[in-house]
Structures are given as C-alpha cells and as structure tokens.
C-alpha cells in the first residue's frame, strides 16, 4: 500500500526521527499502529502480553482467523508492515510491567502511547514515563465513549492525579435480604452458583442475614422461632454440604432458596415496614405467565416465565452437579463463566426466580449475561476515533506545542456545541497526588492486628497502589524492614500481622519501588471496622480523613453517603476492577444522560467553551460498572 502522509510538512522531520512505544496491540493498539505507519512514523516498538483470541477479530483488523493463538504484538507488527514495509517495528510479546522495561528502556522513546485495558498497567506506565520524563498519551474506550489525554511530568496532571472509583458494589444485606433491582438478584444468583458449585466465599452468603442492622433487635429471636429458621441455620454452615446431602435435588434447592429462606426473611418484619414484602414460591405451583409481546424474539431475548426458569434451573443444576462430581483433586470447584451455557442458564433462572419473588422486573438471558459479565461492547469505530486522536496529540507534542495538547472526550451524544468530540484543556498536576507530587503520601486505614504483611503487600501495595516490587521500612528509628523486594529476605514476616511489628495508629512506613523509581510514605490509621466491611481504605489526600469516631460508628454497616470515591482511592479486598472500562467521560452534555449533574464551564486556551475536567469527570464505573 502507498505511504500516505497526513502530517503537516513541518512535522515530517520530527515524525521521522521520533521513536514511539505503543503499549497494547488490542482494539486501540491495532488502529494506532496502522495510523502511525501511515502517518510517517518509522521507528516503533509495540508490546503486548497477549495472544489473539477469536473474539478480537471483529475489531482488531490487523488480525485474521489464521492468527488466532499467535502473539498480538508479533502479528500486529507483521500486518502493519504490510502498509509500509520500510518502517522499523519491533514487537515484544511481553508485559510492559516486566523488570527489563525499566526507566532506561522508557527513556529511549520520544512519546509513549498507551492502548491498554487495565489500571495496573496504565498506572505503571504513567510512573515509568514520569520517572523517564517522557510524554505519555493515555487513552481508553468503553462502548461509544472514549478519551485521550496527554501526560507530561510537571506540565499536566498524571494518570494517578485523580483517584479512580472502584466498581459499584452492593451492601451484603441488600443482596441477601432486600433486593430491589434486577442486578441485586443477578449478584445473588452468582453468589449462589459459587456457594453450590464454585469457590465458596463467606462474604457471598446467600442465606438471609439476621445481622442486618435494619432488622436489628428482633431479627434473631423472631426469625429463629420461625419454622423456616432451621433451614436457614443449617445451610448457613455450608450450603454446598447441605446440597450434596440431597445430591442437588432441584426441588430441595428450590424449596430452600425460593420458599423457606423467603419465609424466614418475612419473619424479619422490620424489613418490610416500608418495602413490598417478598412472596415465597411453591414448587407445586409455579406460575406459567408468558408475556404476550415476545413473539418474534429469539431465545436469549425472551424473558422467561417462572416455569421456564424452573426448567432451566433443573437442567443446569443437573449439568453443573455432574461436572462438579467429575472434578479431580486439583480443581475442586467450578468457576462461573458467562460463556458457559449451563452457568449462564443457572444464573438467568435463579436471578429471575428471585426477581419474581421480590416483584422486581425480570431480565432476558441476554441482559443477564451483559450485567453478570460486566459487558460493555467494544466498538471498532470508537477505537478508530480514539486512535486517530492519539496521533493528533502526538503531532502537537512533536511540534513542541504542549500548550495545545488536550484531554479529548468522545461522547455518545453531541454536547451543547453539537460536537461528540470535545476537547478540554489539560489540568495541572494535583499537588497532593500520591504519585507525581514531590513528596508522595497516602494514608491507609486498616486493622493492624488483622492485616497480615502478605495482605498488605498484595492488596494494598500491589493491588491498590500498583507497585511492582515494593520495599517497606517501618519509620520506627530502628530501620525495621517489613517487606524486601529481595527474594526470601522477609518471607518469615509475611504471615505476621502488622501489629507484630509495632505498627499502630499513626505509624509511618517508607515504601520504595526501585523498578518504578517511586517513593511513597504511608501513614497507617488503625481502625477496627471500616465502612462497607472494607478490609482497608487508601486515602490519597489526608485532609479527607474522617475523624476516627465517624468511620467507626458506621461500623460494618452499608454506607449511604460516603460511597463517593474522590478524592480518596478506595479499595476493598473484593474490588474487581473491570479492566476495559477505564474511561473518564464528560458530564453535562446536552442530551446527555448525565445532564442533571451540574457542569462548570470554563474557557479553554483555544477560546472554545468546554467543560472543565477534574471535578466534573465522572468515572464511567461510578454509574455503569457493577461489582460481581
């Protein structure tokens, strides 16, 4: 194919001389690589850890059917060379987080372009680019929404300047006692799958919760006197063992989950003073109501009647029970998979039966799959627009026109200026950013006698703070080493709790990540209980810290008011970040679903009215992502 050069001629030279790192050769990465090659860039390194899956072929057009199973980076390189064989593209089938890609490696590039799908890798590349002082263009898409932004040390905010919201999660008692939306029932059905066939997690109990603060007082005594209480108590011990006793007899399972447990819930009468009480179902009298408007719909689009749900429940239990009996020693449980027919049938059937019991609208199998699998479709055109915008930002950087760089949003509907592509001037760095400020600090709330050193490393340092190989010293004047990145040096510390190292309320820890060239001071705040039963909370800006009493008084109860994430970076043991959805989008657009949210307008450098970002950004996950 002919070499097509769309860049302004003055740029030609700097484009030719530039060396570009493309991180990720997926949806955005493939489009980007093609754009770069066709724009005259001729020295590119592309890195991706993954191999090509058949599901990538509909939009990652550098890949064909015969490439399935092969390295994305290698094939992306080969296909992109087809556009222009005269360019140099180096392909690495590897994770960008591996230690060989150190700061020296990053320093060789003129611009780094992220085309990633997860926060850990984004956050890591952000740190590497800050340490190497190389400009980074960050991007993301989710369905029709997308964003591109330029990041440069000292000149803009970094990827971590604005803490990201975790996924939406639901209080346990809503799931177990008082569901009010289809998603509550879907989450419950997934938990039920795990209790019966998967890796049982006590936090995913599906039985009525007598500790529900709303029912406090009489819940235990009244409910326990109830005829249904026996089943409730027995099965609380081990739902799976109980199910095995009856060889997963569907009528027994049905009787417990859709009749006995519901009667038990009804006995917690305080729960129903302001809510519609649930109606237990009877195995011998299952409603057959069929909606009359489902004529032309295919199976997955139809909303099943309760009787159809029972049929699907019976047949899926049979298959899943058989499978679980065939498990060998190593795999002792089944793993729920949205693409597995029996698993999906089970969750569709059980969630809809529960919805029926609680008078909640039922959902089609298709909808349940999307909600249970956290699926937002990847859209080829969104990726293409975003990849084009990345190259435009690169042109500005190469021309040295940093002040013209923008945070660009792709919206699903036109904004007040009738545009779907909306640029916003770059914000300056957050002076309290726990990554790019001169003296990064965070406060971590946790229970020092319960948190082990291992959990602290895995969940707090690596999980929430995205460190790669942390070294941690207790600031106790003795230089106690809590965690060493040298293998084996602190192994014996791992099973101990933080309090075993005299870490208490107010203790400071000095953390260092040699690989990321990142130093961080952590102040520990000892809290017996954290809101929403979190195992820990990371607060990036200590001025946001609530007084001890305020947090503790909220105890293990669900929080209603303080679930807003900013400005703290909150993480819980159970946060399962949907990696594809790391997108910030603009609020306050005309015709936008979020129009009711206040938007503050400001003038950008170019004189165009646009919407300020930091306080007006809404993580997509706040609204649309569900924690399962």
Which of 30, 129, 173, 405 is the catalytic position? 173
Alpha carbon distances (Å) from 444 to 99, 506, 587, 613 = 27, 10, 30, 27
* 96 or 628: CB nearest ligand ATP: 96
CB 205 within 8 A of CB 235: no
Nearest distance from C-beta of residue 577 to ligand ATP, angstroms: 13
What is the arrangement of strands in the sheet containing 111-114, beginning at the earlier edge strand?
A: 88-93, 43-48, 20-23, 111-114, 136-142, 145-151, 406-410, 421-425
Contacts of 592 (CB under 8 A, 6+ apart): 411, 413, 415, 586
Bridge partners of 149? 138
Binding mask 434-453 for Zn ion (x = CB under 5 A): -xx-----------------
- The site partner of 72 among Zn ion, ligand ATP, none (C-beta below 5 to 8 Å per kind) is ligand ATP
- Residues in contact with ligand ATP by CB under 6 A are 23-27, 29, 47-50, 55-56, 72, 95-97, 116-118, 121, 378, 580
* 97 or 481: CB nearest ligand ATP: 97
Give residue 15's Cα distance to chain centre. 35
Residue 362 labeled ligand binder: no
Nearest distance from C-beta of residue 370 to Zn ion, angstroms: 34
In angstroms, rounded to a whole number, what is the distance separating the alpha carbons of residues 541 and 520? 13
Binding mask 415-434 for Zn ion (x = CB under 5 A): ------------------x-
* 90 or 290: CB nearest ligand ATP: 90
Residue 59 labeled ligand binder: yes
Residue 433 labeled ligand binder: yes
In angstroms, rounded to a whole number, what is the distance separating the alpha carbons of residues 151 and 6? 24
The Cβ of residue 91 has, within 10 Å, a number of other Cβ atoms equal to: 23
- CB burial readout 2-12, b (16+ within 10 A) else e: eeeeebeeebe
Nearest distance from C-beta of residue 382 to ligand ATP, angstroms: 11
Nearest distance from C-beta of residue 142 to ligand ATP, angstroms: 10
- The site partner of 158 among ligand ATP, Zn ion, none (C-beta below 5 to 8 Å per kind) is Zn ion
Single out the residue of 91, 160, 112, 57 nearest to residue 393, CA to CA: 112
* 320 or 464: CB nearest Zn ion: 464
Chain residue whose CB lies nearest ligand ATP:
26
> Does the footprint of Zn ion cover residue 243 (CB under 5 A)?
no
- The site partner of 436 among ligand ATP, Zn ion, none (C-beta below 5 to 8 Å per kind) is Zn ion
Residue 58 labeled ligand binder: yes
Residue 77 labeled ligand binder: no
Residue 509 tokens, joined: 């820890």
Nearest distance from C-beta of residue 151 to Zn ion, angstroms: 9
Nearest distance from C-beta of residue 217 to ligand ATP, angstroms: 48
- The site partner of 121 among Zn ion, ligand ATP, none (C-beta below 5 to 8 Å per kind) is ligand ATP
- CB burial readout 219-240, b (16+ within 10 A) else e: beebbeebebbebbeebbeebb
Residue 436 labeled ligand binder: yes
In angstroms, rounded to a whole number, what is the distance separating the alpha carbons of residues 374 and 498? 35
* 95 or 315: CB nearest ligand ATP: 95
* 433 or 511: CB nearest Zn ion: 433
Q: Indicate the burial class of 332 (C-beta count within 10 angstroms; 0-12, 13-18, 19 or more).
A: exposed
Return the biggest CA–CA distance within the chain: 83
Nearest distance from C-beta of residue 30 to ligand ATP, angstroms: 8
In angstroms, rounded to a whole number, what is the distance separating the alpha carbons of residues 546 and 551? 6
In angstroms, rounded to a whole number, what is the distance separating the alpha carbons of residues 128 and 223? 57
- Looking at 7, 21, 121, 161, which residue binds Zn ion (CB under 5 A)? 161
* 72 or 362: CB nearest ligand ATP: 72
Residue 118 labeled ligand binder: yes
Residue 350 labeled ligand binder: no
Q: Does 173 qualify as catalytic in the annotation?
A: yes
% helix, strand, coil for the chain, step of 5: 40, 15, 45
- The site partner of 134 among Zn ion, ligand ATP, none (C-beta below 5 to 8 Å per kind) is none
* 27 or 440: CB nearest Zn ion: 440
> Does the footprint of Zn ion cover residue 128 (CB under 5 A)?
no
Nearest distance from C-beta of residue 370 to ligand ATP, angstroms: 14
Phi, psi of 423 (to 5 degrees): -85, 145
> Does the footprint of Zn ion cover residue 158 (CB under 5 A)?
yes
- The site partner of 433 among ligand ATP, Zn ion, none (C-beta below 5 to 8 Å per kind) is Zn ion
Residue 185 labeled ligand binder: no
Say how many residues touch Zn ion, by CB under 5 A: 6
Alpha carbon distances (Å) from 242 to 194, 195, 203, 247, 263 = 14, 11, 18, 9, 19
Residue 8 CA neighbour count, 13 Å, CB half: 8
- The site partner of 378 among ligand ATP, Zn ion, none (C-beta below 5 to 8 Å per kind) is ligand ATP
User: What is the DSSP code (8-state) at residue 626?
Assistant: B
Residue 57 labeled ligand binder: yes
- The site partner of 118 among Zn ion, ligand ATP, none (C-beta below 5 to 8 Å per kind) is ligand ATP
Residue 152 labeled ligand binder: no
Residues annotated in the binding site for Zn(2+), as ranges? Answer: 158, 161, 433, 436
Residues annotated in the binding site for ATP, as ranges? Answer: 24-29, 48, 56-59, 72, 117-122
Sites of contact with Zn ion (CB under 5 A): 158, 160-161, 433, 435-436
- Active site (catalytic) residues: 173
């Amino acid at each position: 194919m002919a070499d097509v050069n769309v860049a302004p001629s003055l740029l030609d030279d700097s484009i030719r001389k530039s060396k570009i790192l493309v991180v990720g050769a997926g949806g955005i990465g493939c489009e980007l690589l093609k754009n770069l090659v066709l724009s005259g860039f001729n020295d590119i390194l592309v890195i991706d850890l993954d191999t090509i899956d058949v599901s990538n072929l509909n939009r990652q057009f550098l890949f064909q059917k015969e490439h399935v199973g092969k390295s994305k980076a290698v094939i992306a390189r080969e296909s992109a060379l087809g556009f222009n064989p005269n360019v140099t593209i180096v392909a690495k089938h590897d994770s960008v987080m591996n230690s060989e890609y150190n700061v020296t490696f990053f320093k060789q590039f003129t611009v780094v372009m992220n085309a990633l799908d997860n926060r850990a890798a984004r956050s890591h590349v952000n740190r590497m680019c800050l340490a190497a002082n190389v400009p980074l263009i960050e991007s993301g898409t989710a369905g029709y929404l997308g964003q591109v932004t330029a990041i440069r040390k000292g000149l803009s905010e970094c990827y971590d300047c604005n803490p990201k919201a975790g996924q939406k999660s639901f209080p346990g008692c809503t799931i177990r006692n008082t569901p009010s939306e289809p998603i509550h029932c879907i989450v419950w059905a997934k938990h039920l799958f795990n209790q019966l066939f998967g890796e049982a997690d006590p936090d995913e109990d599906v039985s009525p919760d007598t500790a529900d603060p709303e029912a406090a007082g009489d819940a235990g005594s009244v409910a326990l006197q109830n005829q249904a209480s026996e089943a409730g108590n027995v099965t609380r011990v081990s739902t799976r063992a109980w199910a095995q006793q009856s060889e997963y007899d569907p009528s027994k399972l049905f009787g417990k989950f859709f009749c006995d447990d519901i009667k038990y819930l009804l006995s917690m009468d305080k729960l129903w003073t302001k809510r519609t009480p649930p109606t237990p179902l009877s195995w011998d009298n299952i409603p057959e109501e069929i909606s009359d408007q489902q004529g032309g719909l295919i199976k997955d689009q139809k909303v099943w009647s309760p009787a159809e749900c029972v049929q699907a429940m019976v047949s899926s239990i049979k298959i899943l029970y058989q499978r679980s009996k065939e498990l060998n020693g190593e795999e002792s449980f089944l793993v729920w998979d949205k693409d597995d027919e029996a698993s999906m049938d089970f969750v569709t059937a059980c969630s809809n039966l529960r919805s029926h019991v609680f008078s909640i609208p039922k959902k089609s199998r298709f909808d349940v799959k999307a909600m249970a699998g956290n699926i937002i479709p990847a859209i080829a055109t969104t990726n293409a627009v975003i990849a084009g915008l990345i190259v435009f930002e690169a042109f500005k950087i190469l021309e040295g026109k940093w002040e013209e760089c923008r945070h660009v949003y792709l919206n699903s509907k036109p904004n007040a200026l009738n545009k779907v592509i909306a640029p916003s001037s770059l914000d300056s760095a957050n002076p309290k950013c726990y990554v790019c400020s001169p003296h990064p600090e965070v406060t971590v709330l946790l229970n020092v006698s319960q948190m082990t050193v291992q959990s602290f490393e895995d969940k707090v340092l690596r999980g929430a703070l995205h460190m790669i190989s942390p070294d941690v010293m207790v600031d106790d004047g003795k230089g106690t080493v809590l965690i060493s990145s040298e293998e084996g040096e602190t192994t014996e510390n791992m099973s101990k709790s933080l309090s075993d190292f005299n870490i208490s309320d107010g203790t400071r820890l000095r953390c260092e990540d040699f690989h990321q060239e990142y130093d961080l001071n952590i102040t520990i705040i000892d809290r017996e209980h954290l809101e929403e039963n979190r195992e820990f909370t990371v607060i990036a800006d200590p001025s946001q810290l609530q007084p001890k009493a305020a947090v503790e008084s909220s105890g293990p109860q669900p929080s209603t008011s303080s679930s807003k994430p900013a400005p703290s970076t909150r993480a819980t043991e159970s946060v399962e970040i949907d990696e594809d959805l790391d997108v910030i989008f603009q609020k306050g657009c005309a015709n936008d679903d979020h129009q009711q949210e206040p938007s503050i307008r400001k003038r950008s450098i170019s004189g165009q009215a646009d919407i300020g970002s930091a306080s007006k950004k809404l993580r997509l996950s706040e609204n649309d992502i569900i924690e399962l």
